[in-house]
Amino acid sequence: MNTFLIVVALAIVVGLAYYFLIREKVAPAVPVPVPEIIRDTIPATPPPVPHSMPGEEETTPIPMANFEIAYNIVADHEAGYQKLPQDRGNYNSLRQLVGTNWGINAQVYEIHLGRPPSESDMRTMPRSTAISIFKRLYWDRISGDQLPDQQVANIFLDGIINHGQGVRLMQEVLGVTPDNRYGPNTHAALISAPPRAVHDAYKNRRRQYYHHIVANDSSQNVFLRGWLRRIDSFVYVEGMPTTSGGNVLATVTIAALTYILLS
């Protein structure tokens, strides 16, 4: 048996061991049709945040999504330097082809630097800088630390990194004003909707968006297969702990196995 098969087999064993022996016991959720049901289940106002009254026991804080988990999944798709001329993100504001590194394209790095980056700037970008940019410009933009479901946070972060309209696509799924700005209304709708319904509807909407891009610009067809492989690597797993309180191993294992099998 070659090394690749051994690694895959070990990953499957570890993942299954975690899933059946270690994971939190939660009742399986009932599948919810999407996307119409999402709009019907969003309350008119955000649900109140419970507070302990004097003399009562303090409520246990609800674990929220974790940036490191979401970033590690994105990193599987956004690794290394590339300089494809068909990729619009590889051009700085001077229309110079300078490339993308660690998933940070020339236009985003230009915002970070405060000037048009050179090819040398892009090639020598430290990975730590890329991680900092992902956290500040993407994760914090969607209040990732306040999202109660890790799997939703994973696919949402990947969406806003992969295409500039990632927030608008989520707003279309949630039935709120699609202005591509993540504000209180979008946040309230997102945390109030059924997680799996949101995840699967957003996944389908992103697939549609990829096909729309190619239909309007045939030069982008070269990226379609990779885009679809990327979005298909996101599979919502019922019964998995919803946030970072114990799901690191399972989330990374499942994402890695799916990506390997689709590659």
Could you tell me if residue 59 is inside a domain?
no
Could you tell me if residue 50 is inside a domain?
no
Q: Are strands 100-101 and 81-82 parallel, antiparallel or unpaired?
A: antiparallel
Assign 263 a pLDDT band (cuts: 50, 70, 90).
Answer: low
Nearest to 195 by CA among 23, 30, 26, 44: 30
**Between 52 and 23, residue with greater pLDDT:** 52
Q: 157 is in which domain, residue-wise? A: 3-44+64-262
Could you tell me if residue 81 is inside a domain?
yes
Could you tell me if residue 49 is inside a domain?
no
Overall pTM > 0.85? no
Could you tell me if residue 134 is inside a domain?
yes
Could you tell me if residue 73 is inside a domain?
yes
Could you tell me if residue 84 is inside a domain?
yes
Do residues 102 and 125 touch, judged by C-beta distance below 8 A?
A: yes
- 248 Rama class: left (phi>0) / alpha (psi -120 to 50) / beta: alpha
Q: How much is the pLDDT for 203? A: 98
- 175 Rama class: left (phi>0) / alpha (psi -120 to 50) / beta: left
Can you read off the two tokens belonging to residue 196? Answer: 């799996």
What is the enclosing helix (H) or strand (E) of 144? none
Could you tell me if residue 219 is inside a domain?
yes
One-letter amino acid of 258? T
- When divided into structural domains, the chain yields a total of 1
Tokens 């909707």: give the residue. 193
Assign 193 a pLDDT band (cuts: 50, 70, 90).
Answer: very high
Convert the pLDDT of each residue in 62-80 to its tens digit: 679 999 999 999 999 987 8
Q: φ, ψ for residue 80 (rounded to 5)?
A: 80, 180
Convert the pLDDT of each residue in 218-250 to its tens digit: 999 999 999 999 999 999 998 765 554 444 444
Mean pLDDT of the chain: 80
Q: How much is the pLDDT for 78? A: 86
**Which CATH number is 199's domain given?**
1.20.141.10
